[in-house]
Amino acid sequence: VNDRSIHPPGSPEWWLGRHAEPEPASRGPGRPPVGLERIIEAAMEILDSEGADALSMRGLASRLGSSTATLYRHVSSKDEILAHIADRILGHAKLERVAFDTWQQACRAGARALYTTLTEHPNAIPLFVKQVPAGPNALDARERGIAVLLAAGFPPGFAARGYTAIAHFVIGFAIQQPLDETADPGRDGRLRDYYRSLDSRTYPATTTVADILPGATIDEEFEFGLGLIIDGLENALRTTQQTDTEMPGPEATLGHAPV
């Protein structure tokens, strides 16, 4: 199956038709054939267990008992492999399809699921830089998120912006996970200790808050920030429903004429 694409990896067209590419059934005994599926799987294992630096085309090929040139018969570049990994990880964030009592709960659960999944694959986080994910799983997540907000009564423009705000907030948080190699329990204590150690005259505010917050973790900060956004959305929804205007939006200028 040589599906070397004419489209650059990450481009919308590139994903089309790749949703499910099941490998042909392993014929008889012996090593299964190298295929897109096995390549992505092996690459993800290397990335998760040995880090981004360890994921090289040579290493990947040797793990698969093959050679780099063979890899390039299934994949057009290393970046394409990375894009596949990114979307696959997004796929892991899928929620069980339970019903939520409120749209707030649904938003929280969705954001949390994405955040948790990302932090479970810390070595893959850099893959989410500079490319807003647009693979099949990213699309599914976006669809479900916007649908929740529409169902809650948000006007369409509101729903889109609300989803984007939450998604980018989650990525922003996940991306700066301070993953020191020494994964000791007091992990985020390092940064906090640093803040506390600063000169309290040049950094009065920083040292004040650092002293007062001994038990705060980055996960708790995430929950707090997420709460702020949802509160903001709640506010906006109330305003929308009261005035019944089409698009209030907190002092943002909206509504250019369609081209």
* Residues from 183 through 212 that contact a copy of itself (CB under 8 A): 190-191, 194, 197-198, 202-206, 208-210, 212
Q: Is 62 in contact with 77 (CB distance < 8 Å)?
A: no
Q: Tell me if 215 contacts a copy of itself by CB under 8 A.
A: yes
Q: Tell me if 7 contacts DNA by CB under 7 A.
A: no
- The CA radius of gyration of the chain, in Å to the nearest whole number, is 22
Q: Is 108 in contact with 116 (CB distance < 8 Å)?
A: no
**Alpha carbons 91 and 164: distance in angstroms, whole number:** 18
Among 213, 237, 241, 245, binds a copy of itself (CB under 8 A): 213
Q: Amino acid letter at 181? A: E
CA 21 to chain centroid, in Å, comes to: 22
Residues 191-230 that bind DNA (CB under 7 A): none
Q: Tell me if 103 contacts a copy of itself by CB under 8 A.
A: no
| Residues written for the chain | 259
Q: Tell me if 70 contacts DNA by CB under 7 A.
A: yes
How many residues sit in the footprint of a copy of itself (CB under 8 A)? Answer: 78
Q: How far is the CB of 4 from a copy of itself (least distance, A)?
A: 21
Q: Amino acid letter at 221? A: E
Residues 144-183 that bind a copy of itself (CB under 8 A): 144, 146-147, 150, 156-157, 159-162, 164-165, 168-173, 175-179
Hey, what long-range contacts does 141-148 have (CB within 8 A, 24 or more apart)?
A: 141/90, 141/93, 141/94, 141/110, 141/114, 141/167, 142/167, 144/95, 144/110, 145/107, 145/110, 148/100, 148/103, 148/106, 148/107, 148/110
149 secondary structure, DSSP code? H
| Part of the chain binding DNA (CB under 7 A), chosen from 22-30, 66-74, 98-106, 245-253 | 66-74
Residues 74-113 that bind DNA (CB under 7 A): 77-79
Instruction: Provide the 3-class DSSP secondary structure of residue 147.
Output: helix
Q: Which does 229 bind (CB under 5 to 8 A by kind): a copy of itself, DNA, none?
A: a copy of itself
Q: Which does 119 bind (CB under 5 to 8 A by kind): DNA, a copy of itself, none?
A: none
Q: Which does 255 bind (CB under 5 to 8 A by kind): a copy of itself, DNA, none?
A: a copy of itself
Q: Which does 57 bind (CB under 5 to 8 A by kind): a copy of itself, DNA, none?
A: DNA
Note the residues at the interface with DNA (CB under 7 A): 33-34, 54-59, 66-70, 72-73, 77-79
